[in-house]
Structure 1
Amino acid sequence: MGSLPAERRFNVDSVCIIGAGPSGLVAAKYLVAEHAFSRIQIYEQRSTPGGIWNYVPHQSFGCRDIDVTQADARAGTDRPLWHWKDAAGVPDNQLPEETVFMTPLYDQLETNIPRDLMGFSDLDWPKDSQLFPRHETVLEYIKRYAEDIRHLIRYKTQVLDICLTEDARWRVRTRDLSHRDVTESEEIFDAVVVANGHFNIPYIPEVQGMEEWSAAYPGSISHSKLYRTPDQYAEKKVIVVGNSASGVDIGSQIQRSCSPPLLMSSKSESFLVNTPSPDKIDKPPIAEFLTKNRSVRFEDGTIEQDVDAILYCTGYFYSFPFLKSLDPPVVTSGERVENLYQHIFYQPHPTLAFPVLNQKVIPFPLAEAQAAVIARVFSGRLGLPYEDEMKTWEQDWTKKNGDARMFHVLKFPADADYIDELHDWVVSADGEGEVVTPSDEPSRGVVVRRGKTPPYWGEKEYWMRERFPAIKKAFQDMGEERHRKRTLQDVGFDYEKWKGREGG
Structure 2
Amino acid sequence: MDIKRIAVIGAGPSGLVALNEFLHTSKNGSSTINSYNSLENKKLPTNCAFDEIILFEQGSEVGGTWRYSEACDPPFPYDIEEYNKPYQFRQSMKISKNMWDKSGIYNHLFSNVPEGSMKFSSAQDIELSDTNVEMNPYYPFIKHEQVLKYLEKFCDVNELKKHIRFNSSVEKIYKDENTSKWTIHVLDKDGGIKIEVFDAVMVSTGRFNIPFIPKISNLKSFKGDNSSNALIHTKSFRNAKDFSGKKVLLVGSSISAIDILQYLIPACKEVYLSTNKSTVEPPKPVTDDKLVPGKWMNDILNDSNIGYVKCARIKAIINDGKSVEFEDGLIVDDFDNIIFATGYHLSFPFLDIPENDGKNYINIVSGKKDNNNYAHLKFNNIYMHTFSMTDATLAFSGIAHNTLLFLTSEANAVAASGVWSNKHTIPELTVQQQWCDLQNDNMKDGLKVIQNEQLVEFFDELCEFAPDNRVKITPLLNTEYVERSRLVLKKIFYDIANKVMEY
Q: TM-score, normalised by structure 2?
A: 0.78
Distance 1:254 1:140 in 2: 27
Identity %: 26
Distance 1:18 1:474 in 2: 38
1:174-323 aligned at under 5 Å gives the runs 174-177=186-189, 179=190, 182-213=191-222, 219=228, 220-260=230-270, 262-267=271-276, 269=280, 272-273=296-297, 274-275=299-300, 276=303, 277-292=305-320, 294-323=322-351
Distance 2:268 2:438 in 1: 46
Contact 1:81 1:101 in 2 (8 A): no
Of the three residues 474, 477, 485, the one matched with 1:456 is 474
1:466-477 aligned at under 5 Å gives the runs 466-477=483-494
Distance 2:438 2:425 in 1: 21
- Tell me the residue number matched to 1:136: 145
**Offset from partner CA, 1:160-185 (integer Å, 9 cap, x none):** 100001232101110111x3xx2111
Distance 1:164 1:415 in 2: 33
1:86-105 aligned at under 5 Å gives the runs 101-105=101-105
Q: Is 1:374 the counterpart of 2:386 in the alignment?
A: no
- Tell me the residue number matched to 2:394: 352
Letter in 2 for 1:18: I
1:197–1:100 CA distance, 2 compared to 1 (3 A): closer
- Tell me the residue number matched to 1:53: 66
Distance 1:295 1:351 in 2: 52
Q: Is 1:340 the counterpart of 2:382 in the alignment?
A: yes
SS at match of 1:336: strand
Distance 1:288 1:482 in 2: 37
- Tell me the residue number matched to 1:328: 359
1:283–1:49 CA distance, 2 compared to 1 (3 A): same
SS at match of 2:267: coil
Distance 2:430 2:461 in 1: 22
**Paired positions, count:** 428
Distance 2:268 2:500 in 1: 24
Contact 1:212 1:291 in 2 (8 A): no
- Tell me the residue number matched to 1:155: 166
- Tell me the residue number matched to 1:44: 57
- Tell me the residue number matched to 2:457: 417
Contact 2:382 2:436 in 1 (8 A): yes
1:247–1:462 CA distance, 2 compared to 1 (3 A): same
Contact 2:234 2:341 in 1 (8 A): yes
Distance 1:368 1:216 in 2: 44
**How far apart are residue 271 of structure 1 and its match?**
6.0
Distance 1:245 1:221 in 2: 20
Letter in 1 for 2:62: P
Contact 1:345 1:354 in 2 (8 A): yes
**How far apart are residue 215 of structure 1 and its match?**
10
- Tell me the residue number matched to 2:2: 11
Distance 2:404 2:489 in 1: 14
**How far apart are residue 235 of structure 1 and its match?**
1.4
Unaligned ranges ≥5, structure 1: 1-9, 83-98, 434-451, 485-504
Contact 2:9 2:15 in 1 (8 A): yes
1:272–1:382 CA distance, 2 compared to 1 (3 A): farther
SS at match of 2:153: helix
CA RMSD between the two structures:
2.8
Distance 2:341 2:237 in 1: 10
Contact 1:19 1:45 in 2 (8 A): yes
**Offset from partner CA, 1:354-374 (integer Å, 9 cap, x none):** 111112321111111111111
1:49–1:63 CA distance, 2 compared to 1 (3 A): closer
Distance 2:7 2:474 in 1: 27
Of the three residues 91, 99, 106, the one matched with 1:77 is 91
**Offset from partner CA, 1:316-363 (integer Å, 9 cap, x none):** 111111002333332565442343212111112110001111123211
Letter in 1 for 2:334: D
Contact 1:372 1:454 in 2 (8 A): no
Letter in 1 for 2:184: V
Distance 1:335 1:28 in 2: 24
Q: TM-score, normalised by structure 1?
A: 0.78
**How far apart are residue 245 of structure 1 and its match?**
2.1
**How far apart are residue 378 of structure 1 and its match?**
0.8
Contact 2:12 2:64 in 1 (8 A): yes
SS at match of 1:222: strand
Distance 2:162 2:379 in 1: 31
1:374-453 aligned at under 5 Å gives the runs 374-401=416-443, 409-423=449-463, 425-426=464-465, 432-433=468-469, 452-453=470-471
Contact 1:294 1:308 in 2 (8 A): no
Contact 2:247 2:335 in 1 (8 A): yes
Contact 2:224 2:336 in 1 (8 A): no
Letter in 2 for 1:32: L
Distance 2:186 2:224 in 1: 37
SS at match of 1:466: helix
Distance 2:13 2:74 in 1: 29
SS at match of 2:206: coil
Contact 1:318 1:331 in 2 (8 A): no
1:108-123 aligned at under 5 Å gives the runs 108-121=108-121, 122-123=123-124
Contact 2:246 2:336 in 1 (8 A): yes
Of the three residues 15, 28, 37, the one matched with 1:24 is 15
Letter in 2 for 1:66: P
Distance 1:422 1:281 in 2: 44
SS at match of 1:323: coil
Letter in 2 for 1:138: V
Contact 2:222 2:320 in 1 (8 A): no
Distance 2:343 2:363 in 1: 16
Letter in 1 for 2:359: P
Distance 1:314 1:198 in 2: 13
1:80–1:227 CA distance, 2 compared to 1 (3 A): farther
- Tell me the residue number matched to 1:488: none
- Tell me the residue number matched to 1:171: 183
